[in-house]
Amino acid sequence: MTEQRPLVSAIVPNYNYAASLKLCLSALQAQTYRPIELIVVDDGSTDDSVEIARRLGVRVIRTERNMGVAGARNLGVAHASGEILIFVDSDVAPYPDAVEVAVGMLAADPGLGAVCSIHDPEPLIRDSLVEEYRALQYHYWTASSEGPISFLFPALMAMPRRVFDDIGPFNTRLRETEEVDYGHRLTQRYEMVLTTAVRSRHDHDDKLVKLLRKLYRRGRARVPLYARRRRFARGFETSSRAGGSLAALAAVAASPLVIMLGPAGAAPAVLALAVSLLADLGMYRFVLRRRGPLFLLYFGAVHFLVNVTIAAGVAAGVARWLCSARFRRLYDADLTMRPSTTGEAAT
């Protein structure tokens, strides 16, 4: 007699990602694992996302208003029946065995609360050099952190339903950093791993301004949590990465000395730039091996801007943390809250 396998509920939060939604849903429908139910939570999209999902025969839950990804995930769980929850962002396409591998890892270790995927170094949709940069940079940072983590990566993440019920829902007050908060809460009781065994491709941001704006907001919003919880972002927010960003910002801040003091004033900026480059030397070698020297020059220029932006966001967050008691309480979540069930089911 064949042992019955647990039902998996794949929950796809979506907001105006029609360009990648079909790829995401088709990849989920092609999974080797069975049984699996597929739920799209459309969070107030104004494009043709809902029609795309319906044409593929996927169940759609539509929200009355845009709630943000945290609320969309919670709503999906409220409508899910599976023993295992798979959260898949609508700009991510899992490999055919991704669900199979994740469920197997959870079954092998009852103390494992979540399994997170590492995206490939190639983007899902290749439509800009910025996206090529981001795919390589994000892959290197995550792959070099493979193993136990406390920083949640929910773009493709599997967890037992019992763990979600124990930890509680995502904090709907957090629009940018709900995964940071949830990862900290989860790892107080369970282990969590980031692994290349669960593979996927991600349709990263393809516009530089959009990417920089997102990174700035995230850097600023994480300050209240970092300020109160030391070393909580285990395996990801390393001192070398933080140092690289701070050194890049210092290089920009020191650049006026060149105008004021002439060539002698360039020394602090050059030194800070050298420190920033050395902090990410492993990543630059990785990019050189994959894409060659010409792309490396482009990559280095964009990454310098990214480092400056992240450091500037953190600096702004520190200033706001010092001046605003309300900002300091940003992560004072009510852990007794339950998922919202506001929405209309459709097939």
Report the chain's terminal Cα–Cα distance, integer Å: 34
Over residues 301-311, mean pLDDT: 96
pLDDT tens readout for residues 228-267: 665 445 555 666 778 889 889 888 888 887 677 777 778 8
Parallel, antiparallel or unpaired: strands 344-346 and 59-62: antiparallel
Does the pLDDT of residue 345 top 50, yes or no? Answer: no
Q: Which residue has the tokens 């500037």?
A: 312
> Residue 244 has what pLDDT?
87
Percent of the chain with pLDDT over 90: 72
Q: Quote the tokens at residue 136.
A: 């390589």
Q: Is 259 helix (H, G, I), strand (E, B) or coil?
A: helix
- Average pLDDT value over all residues in the chain: 90
> Phi/psi class of residue 168: alpha, beta or left (left: φ > 0; alpha: ψ in -120 to 50)?
left
> Residue 131 has what pLDDT?
97
pLDDT tens readout for residues 71-118: 999 999 999 999 999 999 999 999 999 999 999 999 999 999 999 999
pLDDT tens readout for residues 143-170: 999 999 988 999 999 999 999 999 999 9
Over residues 287-292, mean pLDDT: 97
Does the pLDDT of residue 281 top 70, yes or no? Answer: yes
Hey, where are the domains in the chain? Answer: 8-204, 239-328
C-alpha to C-alpha distance for 12 and 28, rounded to whole angstroms:
10
> Residue 333 has what pLDDT?
54
Kindly state which CATH superfamily the domain 8-204 is placed in: Spore Coat Polysaccharide Biosynthesis Protein SpsA; Chain A (3.90.550.10)
> Distance from CA of residue 274 to its chain's centroid?
29
Q: At what angle do helices 266-279 and 239-254 cross, to 10 degrees?
A: 160
> Residue 1 has what pLDDT?
46
> Residue 341 has what pLDDT?
43
Q: Quote the tokens at residue 57.
A: 């025969």
Q: State pTM to two decimals.
A: 0.89
Q: Distances from the Cα of 284 to the Cαs of 42, 208, 275, in angstroms?
A: 38, 19, 14
> Distance from CA of residue 10 to its chain's centroid?
17
Q: Distances from the Cα of 15 to the Cαs of 42, 57, 87, 204, in angstroms?
A: 6, 19, 15, 15
